Structure 1
């Protein structure tokens, strides 16, 4: 018997065995790993998108708060509502300015003006004066600030970006104060009827 005859098939078998050892990774496991990695990357992206959505929402809400605050100074006949409107216009302009700096640092594009829904809200309020304006404006301010407090509270803990978390935490107390003040002025206006 020629030993070389047996060595050739054994060497081929060994070569195949070695090559299968080198690529012993299970294709299903590899696919699962790649998908988990991809999903992990997308979760980061989703969190960054959530941060950006928060920043854009805060910017657009801030613009509306400023506009409605100015409108309150013109349309209301109640000194407490006029004062509240002036305070909202001033303080939300300050928040918006700080947000603009943050957005620029993070490369987040902010809205250049009011959205369609916000323009509609502004137009509806602009058509009102006196007690009707006060009632609608204060309802909006209570609802809007309650939503703001919830969003800022969530993002002060859950934002992906530390600077955005810090921004939310910094302004959360001021928004809570605005909510309480809106409720107080609303109560005053209701009691004066």
Structure 2
């Protein structure tokens, strides 16, 4: 899941491939926005899975470990559905974490103890806020009905993740 240092950014590469195809087929900006959403959703989903695995290893409390496991399971399911959707639509998804996601992963992987717990939960709140906004917007505004449907299906799930992340974030903020 983690790219080689010399490799192109997989997220940027997927965006480029989709824009090229969309450009070649002379489709609309709305379809381009759909493709950007799908790529971002895929890269964020992969990051949630990788960070969830990390939380299961490094979390200092059973709650953090359980949240990490929940993220792995739920985001893996969404990632599978997204991959099938992208395949049907002829969209390219990143094969591994993008540079930005890789930096987040590396930063968290370098932490231990309660510092990990705090940074992990802060990252979960931040990422899920962004995801909820994207998914809610696209559940109404996506050009493609299937992409709209995907966003509508997973927006409430992400909202639930955000609420749980905010709750856990408050619990770990006061840790030493």
TM-score bracket relative to the smaller structure:
0.7 to 0.9
Q: 5+ residue gaps in structure 1?
A: 1-40
- Equivalences for residues 39-118 of structure 1 within 5 A: 45-118=28-101
The equivalent residue for 1:35 is: none
Structure 2 CA distance for aligned equivalents of residues 79 and 100 of structure 1: 31
- Range with bigger deviation, 44-53 or 65-74: 44-53
Alpha-carbon separation, structure 1, partners of 2:173 and 2:106: 24
Q: Secondary structure at the match of 2:111?
A: coil
- Pick aligned residue for 1:136 from 109, 113, 119: 119
Provide the C-alpha distance between the structure 2 equivalents of 1:93 and 1:152, rounded to a whole number of angstroms. 17
Do 2:114 and 2:175's aligned partners in 1 also have CA atoms closer than 8 Å?
Answer: no
Superposed displacement of residue 82, structure 1? 0.7
Secondary structure of residue in 2 paired with 1:143: helix
> Matched residues in 1 for 2:76 and 2:151: separation?
16
Count of equivalent residues? 152
Matched, 1:185 2:157: no
Alignment of 1:28-47 (within 5 A): 45-47=28-30
Task: Quote the Cα distance in structure 2 between the aligned partners of 1:52 and 1:190.
Answer: 37
Contact 2:53–2:72 at 8 Å: present in 1 too? yes
DSSP 3-state at the match of 2:28: helix
- Residue 3 of structure 1 is matched in structure 2 by none
Hey, what does 1:121 align to over in structure 2? 104
Counterpart-to-counterpart distance in 2, 1:186 and 1:90:
20
Q: Tell whether the 8 Å contact from 1:78 to 1:130 is kept in structure 2 after alignment.
A: no
TM-score (norm 2): 0.83
Q: CA deviation at 1:190?
A: 2.8
TM-score, normalised relative to structure 1:
0.76
